[in-house]
C-alpha cells in the first residue's frame, strides 16, 4: 500500500502543538481510531514502514493491527515487530517485563552493568518493593548538574571567575514499575495485542 492511500485510510489532518509552546502549531496527521499523533505533514516518508505492512486497524501511536499478515504490531522510531498467536516473550526481549518485584529490581540494577558494579549497587538501593508486591518504586538518586543563568555566567564559570553555579536536580523524585507476565506465549489475538503494546513501551 502506498503512503498516500494508507494515510487516507487511517488518518486525517489537523493542527496541533508539537514540542515546546514557543514553537508554532504544526500540521499533522492523527489516527481516525483514537486521534493519536502519527506524523507531521511533509514527513509522510517516516511512516512508509507502517504503510508497507498495511497496519490499518485500531491504529494508535505505536500499536496497530495488520489484516495483511494478521499480526498486531508495536513500534517506535527505534524498532517494529509483529505478534500473532504463538508468539513468545522471553527474558531479554524488548517486550519482556519480569513477573516478580525481585526480578524487576535485578533487571533495573543490571541495566547499569556496563558502567560499573558501583552503579549497579547504587541503582539497586534505589528500589523498594510495593506493599502489595505489584511492582517496585524507584527513589531516584539525585542527578545534580550546574546551571548557568546566562552566557556571561557560563563564560565566567569557565574562566574560573565564578566559584559555583546554581545546581538543579534533573531527575524526578520517584517512578513506579509494575510487574509483568515474565516469560509467556500468546494464546489469543488479545495476547498478541498485549505483546505489541508491551513492545511499544519497551522500545519507546
- Could you list the pLDDT tens digit for every one of the 204 residues in the chain? 999 999 999 999 999 988 788 888 999 999 999 999 999 999 999 999 999 999 999 999 999 999 999 999 999 999 999 999 999 999 999 999 999 999 999 999 998 999 999 999 999 999 999 999 999 999 877 667 777 777 877 777 777 765 666 776 655 678 899 999 999 999 999 999 999 999 999 998
Q: Give the Cα separation of 155 and 95 in Å (integer).
A: 46
DSSP state of 41: T
Nearest to 71 by CA among 92, 90, 91, 57: 57
pLDDT of residue 188: 98
Grid cell of 150 as nine digits: 546566562
Output the pLDDT for position 164. 62
**Is residue 113 within 8 Å of residue 121, measured between CB atoms?**
no
* pLDDT of res. 171: 58
pLDDT of residue 125: 93
pLDDT on residue 20: 80
Contact between 81 and 75 under an 8 Å Cβ cutoff? The reply is yes
* Unique residue bearing C-alpha cell 494478521: 70
Helix (H, G, I), strand (E, B) or coil at 195: helix
Q: For 42-165, where are the alpha helices, taking DSSP H only? A: 48-52, 101-110, 117-125, 151-158
Q: Which residues of 76-113 are buried (b: 16+ CB within 10 A; e: fewer)?
A: eeeebbbbeeebebeeebbbbbbeebebbbebbbeebe
Distances in Å between the alpha carbon of 185 and those of 83, 173, 193?
10, 35, 12
State residue 40's pLDDT score: 94
Amino acid at each position: 500500500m502506498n503512503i498516500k492511500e494508507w494515510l487516507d485510510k487511517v488518518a486525517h489532518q489537523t493542527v496541533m502543538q508539537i514540542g515546546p509552546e514557543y514553537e508554532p502549531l504544526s500540521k499533522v496527521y492523527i489516527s481516525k481510531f483514537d486521534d493519536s499523533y502519527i506524523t507531521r505533514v511533509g514527513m509522510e516518508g517516516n511512516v512508509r514502514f507502517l504503510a508497507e505492512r498495511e497496519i490499518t486497524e485500531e491504529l494508535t501511536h505505536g500499536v496497530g493491527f495488520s489484516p495483511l499478515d494478521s499480526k498486531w504490531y508495536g513500534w517506535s522510531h527505534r524498532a517494529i515487530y509483529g505478534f500473532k498467536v504463538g508468539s513468545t516473550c522471553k527474558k531479554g526481549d524488548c517486550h519482556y517485563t519480569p513477573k516478580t518485584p525481585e526480578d524487576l529490581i535485578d533487571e533495573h540494577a543490571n541495566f547499569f552493568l556496563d558502567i560499573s558494579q558501583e552503579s549497579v549497587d547504587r541503582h539497586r538501593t534505589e528500589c523498594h518493593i510495593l506493599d502489595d508486591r505489584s511492582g517496585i518504586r524507584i527513589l531516584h538518586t539525585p542527578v545534580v548538574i550546574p546551571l548557568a543563568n546566562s552566557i556571561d555566567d557560563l563564560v565566567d564559570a569557565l574562566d574560573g571567575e565564578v566559584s559555583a553555579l546554581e545546581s538543579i536536580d534533573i531527575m524526578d523524585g520517584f517512578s513506579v514499575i509494575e510487574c509483568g507476565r515474565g516469560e509467556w506465549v500468546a494464546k489469543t489475538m488479545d495476547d498478541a495485542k498485549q505483546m505489541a503494546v508491551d513492545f511499544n513501551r519497551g522500545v519507546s
